[in-house]
Amino acid sequence: MRLSLMALCTAAMLFALSGVLAQAATPSAALSWTAPTTYTDGSPIISGELKTYTVEWRRSAGGALVGSLIVNAPAVTATVPVACGVYVFDVIATAVIASGATNPVSFDSGVACTPNPPTGLKVSKAS
Q: pLDDT tens digit string along 108-118?
A: 998 888 888 89
**Rounded Cα–Cα distance for residues 107 and 74 (Å):** 24
Instruction: Please tell me which residue, 57 or 7, carries the higher pLDDT value.
Output: 57
Q: Residues 12-59: pLDDT tens digits? A: 444 444 444 444 468 999 999 999 999 999 999 999 999 999 999 999
Residue 119 burial by CB count (10 A; 0-12/13-18/19+): exposed, middle or buried? Answer: exposed
Confidence of residue 101 (pLDDT cuts 50, 70, 90): confident
pLDDT for res 21 = 43
The superfamily in CATH containing domain 27-108 is Immunoglobulins (2.60.40.10)
Q: What percent of the chain lies above the pLDDT cut of 90?
A: 58
Confidence of residue 4 (pLDDT cuts 50, 70, 90): low
